[in-house]
């Protein structure tokens, strides 16, 4: 079976690029797979971070064709013709932002005209963006009208899909968990990172307003009265107003309980911070789903997360983590304290929970869904 994947992929950085690598890897075990990647993903003025590329790429992807320039319609035609020449049975689109709907729609329209039997499945990491514009839904509808089936990974995304395309054929799958090979001693990696506290609380990922970092920082006001010898470490480049968070840290962290590593961390460094941590906190105010939770599980780390749609279905409360009331800093601090006072064997629960959520199973379910379309 021939499969083409339209998605961002290495050498671009970020969770979706890394996940595309794993999906391609496992689908390639029994299929002929290529990845149609971007040669320009975002124009620089639209990208909020410092760079779109992985500075220390350790993932190498075979059959990775960088053809799509989101600002150049001629590249869309070239990408479509390249796919048509390969005559795939299935095209998988990674969809996470309406910005890509125009180029994707043009490519798929051209392919459908020539290869009407080729099936198109969109794997929806997000549908409605957190920072919305008045054109978003129209762009999404334009693309989704050409899609045969959809993979969603949370109830939030499922509801957004049905709102836009009520009769959509879809399958809900849990976000896969990669079993990380890095095994660091917590004590040794803390020494290497110069972390000398007994208790380490980690926030990981790009800092954006919807991720609720302000709630975690504010929680320290209560936490500092009730917990001893701890450190909150924020690992993530800011995609917003840095001054807002720096001011909050100054206000709520009187004894330097909060440390912010304000940059993108490549995997080999990020893995050390996960190894150093006891718990990963996701104080999100809204979410379609999160790649940080399965990433935490891959490192066998429990999570404390907001009890909201798109997040709560990924957490087994008091088994793989704890849930707290959204935007409630006091409840968050109480759950952090509860974590350190409990005797729950989170690690064993996580190992048991993640068994059914491998990329191999995820890829198999995609192919099963394809057969129903």
3-state secondary structure 216-235: HHHHHHHHHHHCCCEEEEEE
> What local confidence, expressed as pLDDT, does residue 316 receive?
95
Question: Domain 186-355 adopts which CATH fold?
Answer: Rossmann fold (3.40.50)
Phi, psi dihedrals of residue 99, rounded to the nearest 5°: -55, -35
Q: For residue range 30-89, list pLDDT tens digits in order.
A: 999 999 999 887 665 454 555 555 555 545 667 899 999 999 999 999 999 999 999 999
| Exposed e or buried b per residue across 240-259, where buried means at least 16 C-beta atoms within 10 angstroms of its C-beta | beeeebeebbeebbeeebbb
Using alpha carbons, select from 100, 332, 294, 114 the residue that is nearest to residue 214: 332
Q: Whole-angstrom Cα distance, residue 257 to residue 231?
A: 5
Higher pLDDT, 11 or 106: 106
Least confident of 60-69, 95-104, 184-193, 359-368: 60-69
> What local confidence, expressed as pLDDT, does residue 6 receive?
96
Strand order in the sheet with 199-204: 258-261, 230-235, 199-204, 279-282, 303-306, 321-324
Q: Whole-angstrom Cα distance, residue 153 to residue 125?
A: 7
8 A C-beta contact, residue 149 and residue 93: no
> What local confidence, expressed as pLDDT, does residue 204 receive?
96
> What local confidence, expressed as pLDDT, does residue 50 receive?
53
First CA to last CA across the chain, in angstroms?
15
The conformational region for residue 166 under phi > 0 = left, psi -120 to 50 = alpha, else beta, is alpha
* Percent of the chain at pLDDT exceeding 70: 93
Domain residue ranges of the chain, discontinuous segments joined by + = 2-176+358-370, 186-355
> What local confidence, expressed as pLDDT, does residue 287 receive?
85
> What local confidence, expressed as pLDDT, does residue 181 receive?
62
> What local confidence, expressed as pLDDT, does residue 240 receive?
83
**pLDDT averaged over the chain?**
91
Q: Do domains 2-176+358-370 and 186-355 have the same CATH topology?
A: yes
> What local confidence, expressed as pLDDT, does residue 44 receive?
59
* pLDDT classification of 14: cutoffs 50, 70, 90: confident
8 A C-beta contact, residue 180 and residue 271: yes
What DSSP state is assigned to residue 363? H
> What local confidence, expressed as pLDDT, does residue 45 receive?
47
Q: Whole-angstrom Cα distance, residue 263 to residue 85?
A: 41
8 A C-beta contact, residue 84 and residue 111: yes
Residue 350 has pLDDT above 90, yes or no: yes
Which tokens is 366 given? 């995609």
**Rounded alpha-carbon distances, angstroms, from residue 29 to 26, 91, 234:** 5, 17, 38
> What local confidence, expressed as pLDDT, does residue 184 receive?
87
8 A C-beta contact, residue 303 and residue 280: yes
> What angle do helix axes 73-86 and 101-114 make, rounded to 10 degrees?
40
Q: Whole-angstrom Cα distance, residue 119 to residue 97?
A: 21
Q: For residue range 224-254, list pLDDT tens digits in order.
A: 999 999 999 999 999 888 999 999 999 999 8
Largest CA distance in the chain: 67
Burial of 129 (0-12, 13-18, 19+ CB in 10 A): middle
| Exposed e or buried b per residue across 155-171, where buried means at least 16 C-beta atoms within 10 angstroms of its C-beta | ebbbbbbeebbeebebb
Q: For residue range 176-214, list pLDDT tens digits in order.
A: 988 776 678 999 999 999 999 999 999 999 899 999 999
**Cis? peptide before 339, omega within 30° of 0:** no
Higher pLDDT, 127 or 43: 127
Higher pLDDT, 13 or 95: 95
> What local confidence, expressed as pLDDT, does residue 331 receive?
98
* pLDDT classification of 152: cutoffs 50, 70, 90: very high
8 A C-beta contact, residue 11 and residue 344: no
Identify the bridge partners of residue 119 per DSSP, sorted by sequence position.
Answer: 90
Per-state percent for the chain, helix, strand, coil, to nearest 5: 40, 20, 40
For domain 2-176+358-370, give its CATH number from 3.40.640.10, 3.40.50.11930, 1.10.20.140, 3.40.50.300. Answer: 3.40.50.11930
Residue 10 has pLDDT above 90, yes or no: no
Residue 300 has pLDDT above 50, yes or no: yes
């Amino acid at each position: 079976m021939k499969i083409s994947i339209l998605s961002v992929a290495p050498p671009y950085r970020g969770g979706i690029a890394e996940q595309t690598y794993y999906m391609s890897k496992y689908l390639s075990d029994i299929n002929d797979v290529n990845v149609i990647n971007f040669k320009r993903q975002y124009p620089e003025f639209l990208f909020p971070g410092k760079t779109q590329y992985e500075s220390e790429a350790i993932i190498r992807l075979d059959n990775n064709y960088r053809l799509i320039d989101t600002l150049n319609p001629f590249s869309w035609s070239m990408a479509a013709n390249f796919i048509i020449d390969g005559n795939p049975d299935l095209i998988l689109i990674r969809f996470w932002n309406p910005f890509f709907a125009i180029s994707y729609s043009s490519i798929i329209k051209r392919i459908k005209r020539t290869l009407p039997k080729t099936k198109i499945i969109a794997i929806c990491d997000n549908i409605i963006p957190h920072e919305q514009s008045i054109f978003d839904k129209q762009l999404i509808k334009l693309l989704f009208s050409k899609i045969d089936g959809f993979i969603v990974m949370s109830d939030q995304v499922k509801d957004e899909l049905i709102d836009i395309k009520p009769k959509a054929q879809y399958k809900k799958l849990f976000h896969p968990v990669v079993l990380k090979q890095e095994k660091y001693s917590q004590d040794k990696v803390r020494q290497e990172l110069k972390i000398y506290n007994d208790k380490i609380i980690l926030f990981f990922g790009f800092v954006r307003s919807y991720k609720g970092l302000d709630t975690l920082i504010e929680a320290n006001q209560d936490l500092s009265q009730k917990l001893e010898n701890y450190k909150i470490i924020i690992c993530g480049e800011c995609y917003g107003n840095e001054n807002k968070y720096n001011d909050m840290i100054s206000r709520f962290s009187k004894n330097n309980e909060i440390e912010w590593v304000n940059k993108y961390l490549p995997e080999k460094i990020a893995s050390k911070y996960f190894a150093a941590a006891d718990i990963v906190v996701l104080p999100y105010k809204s979410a379609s789903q999160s790649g940080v939770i399965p990433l935490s599980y891959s490192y066998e780390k429990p999570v404390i997360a907001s009890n909201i749609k798109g997040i709560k279905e990924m957490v087994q409360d008091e088994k793989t983590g704890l849930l707290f009331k959204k935007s409630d800093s006091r409840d968050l601090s109480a759950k952090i304290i509860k974590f350190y006072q409990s005797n729950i064997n989170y690690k064993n629960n996580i190992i048991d929970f993640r068994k059914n959520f491998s990329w191999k199973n995820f890829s198999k379910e995609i192919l099963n869904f394809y057969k129903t379309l």
